[in-house]
Amino acid sequence: MPLRRCLPVLLVTALVAGCASSTIAPRYTTENPDVMRIGGERPANADPRTENAGSFCLETTERWNEHGRTPDGQTLWAKDTLRRVVPCQ
């Protein structure tokens, strides 16, 4: 009878202990440094470029923005890419 009362408590305790011990360490790296950078000053924004796509043209603008900090205080920089349709010249 006491085992029947303690078994649910033991199962919940084991589940909580198992979940609490599995911490995922963050990894701040990327294979493509043109998309994300860590630390330093804000990277320079590139000039907008226009690409001919046949019957229309695309203007691509890239901007670097701060997207938070790492646990050791370094700035995370991420590139935002904006595209819009423009007339071809």
**pTM for the whole thing?**
0.56
Residues 82, 58 contacting (CB under 8 angstroms): no
Residues 61, 82 contacting (CB under 8 angstroms): yes
Residues 69, 75 contacting (CB under 8 angstroms): yes
Give the 3-state secondary structure of residue 78: strand
pLDDT at residue 35 in the model: 83
Using CA atoms, how far apart are residues 74 and 77, in angstroms rounded to an integer? 10
| pLDDT tens per residue, range 41-86 | 998 998 999 999 888 999 999 999 998 888 888 899 999 999 999 9
Structure tokens at 66: 């701060």
| pLDDT tens per residue, range 26-41 | 666 767 777 888 888 9
Does the structure show a pLDDT above 80 at 3? Answer: no
